[in-house]
Amino acid sequence: MKVTDETAKAWRNVSPGLRNLIGKNIEQLLSYSLSKIKEANFEMLLNDARKEAAENGLTEEILNQLLNEEN
């Protein structure tokens, strides 16, 4: 990742304790962002599956009938 010269200079002057704290905050933000991306991708996959199922005639009523036949 590239940062501005000003940010790089400021980072060099930060204490080790503050660097550690900032690193933890960045890690949490990155982890949260990646989990949201995964959720969004999963939702897109589900929406595509729903759309394809509907286009192929699979309605909620038919799905319920099929699920009840399995029991």
pLDDT in tens, 24-53: 999 999 999 999 999 999 999 999 999 999
Confidence of residue 68 (pLDDT cuts 50, 70, 90): very high
* H helices, E strands: number in the chain: 3, 0
Number of domains in the chain: 1
Distance of CA 40 to the CA centre of its chain: 5
pLDDT for residue 70 is more than 80: no
Determine contact, residues 22/14, Cβ cutoff 8 Å.
yes
Full residue range of the structural domain in which residue 27 is found: 5-70
